[in-house]
Amino acid sequence: MTAGDAGVPLRVVSYNIHSQRDDTAALAAVVREAKPDVVVVQEGPRRFRWRQRSAALAESFGLVVAAGGLPALGNLLLTSLRVRVTATRCQRFPLTPGRHLRGAAYAECVVGRDARFTLAGSHLSTDPVERPGQAALFKRELDAAATPVIAAADLNEEPAGPAWATVARGLTDAAVAMDRADRPTYSCANPRRRIDALLVDPRITVVGYDVVDTPQTRRASDHFPVLVDLLLPASG
């Protein structure tokens, strides 16, 4: 079997970094130790000097900025030099008066010779009335992708919720695929809810899933990072 037949490996981290309010040295160490190819960040820099702060965050992880930041309202896509980014776009969900602005970031990527995929990240509202509409807008973009999707998001609800069901429709839940759906991702102080999703196109094979719970991750943010190993289909 050739490497192309076996699939092209990709390591993904999805991480709500709590606006870097916690131990930033621990945060950088957590990501560097994971050695990801891509990191999907929620609550990344989105205000004053967001470009410089996003670049500094990426550098602390040993990665580069692919997309997001202020145009995606804090959703940030970071990649290693192994991943080539061919196109990016950002999305803002309609503002509900009195609520926070929310959005999403997308990047068209290639790894290896011809393994193409769409990387997407979002962070949905804490408001259960507002959240389903945002999920529908995010899902519409995922469904329109021309290449296999890898979607990582803080959905702010558990898998039984309607917004989660909308986003997950037709995709593989990496936690379920590895029989680890019982692992909470939030909060580090009182772990009891799985609200951070990593969802992939069925053509992508999930070969590993972990919610990284260590003393270091408990210092780094209020969410645990989700670490997933995938095999991507070659496009050729």
Print pLDDT tens along the chain (236 aa): 344 457 999 999 999 999 999 999 999 999 999 999 999 999 999 989 999 999 999 999 999 999 999 999 999 999 999 999 999 999 999 988 878 899 999 999 999 999 999 999 999 999 999 999 999 999 999 999 999 999 999 999 999 999 999 999 999 999 999 999 999 999 999 999 999 999 999 999 999 999 999 999 999 999 999 999 999 998 74
Q: Kindly report the CATH number assigned to the domain that includes residue 138.
A: 3.60.10.10
What token pair was written down for 165? 């069901």
Three-state helix/strand/coil letters over the chain: CCHHHHCEEEEEEEEECHHHCCCHHHHHHHHHHHCCCEEEEECCCCCCCHHHHHHHHHHHHCCEEEEECHHHCCCEEEECCCEEEEEEEEEECCCCCCCCCCEEEEEEEEECCCEEEEEEEEECCCCCCCHHHHHHHHHHHHHCCCCCEEEEEECCCCCCCHHHHHHHCCCEEHHHHCCCCCCCCECCCCCCECCEEEEECCCCEEEEEEECCCHHHHHHCCECCEEEEEEECCCC
Position 5 scores a pLDDT of 57
Position 2 scores a pLDDT of 40
Tally of domains in the chain: 1
Task: Record the pTM.
Answer: 0.96
Domain that holds residue 105: 3-232
